[in-house]
Amino acid sequence: MGRSPSSSSNESNVKKGPWTPEEDEKLMDYISKHGRGTWRTLPKHAGLNRNGKSCRLRWENYLKPDIKRGKFTQEEEQFIINLHSVLGNKYDFPFIVKHYIFDLISFYVLVHVFWFVCH
């Protein structure tokens, strides 16, 4: 038993395809003023003709201010290599990198925690 669509009649009116800078601005302004809230209702409140999933993905993957862009530092690159040598390919390595590499947790402690869990 899944969730029913919130507005199946309006589904044909939902915009698909590339985001415009104006849409990005509306989404960023709304979230900065009101917070993320519920993704299903956010597009309506923000004045966007998109669905909630599209807004969530745009925010999480492109607009979120704390997204780190650019190349890895030497320290981060070495950490990835060390972690992969400990974990190998048996775990969801991209998930681990995404959730732990940029935290302020000491790299030394993190590697040893994963080593302990794996052995």
d(CA 45, CA 40): 10
48 plus 79 within the same structural domain: no
Structural domains of the chain, count: 2
Residue 93: how many CA atoms within 13 Å on its side-chain side?
Answer: 12
Residue 48 lies in a domain: yes
Measured in residues, the chain has a length of 119
Residue 3 lies in a domain: no
Contact status, residue 34 vs residue 47, Cβ threshold 8 Å: no
Residue 28 lies in a domain: yes
Query: How do the pLDDT tens digits run along the chain, 119 residues long?
Result: 566 555 544 556 899 999 999 999 999 999 999 998 899 999 999 999 999 999 999 999 899 988 878 888 898 889 888 877 877 766 666 666 666 555 545 565 656 666 666 65
Enter the pTM of the model.
0.57
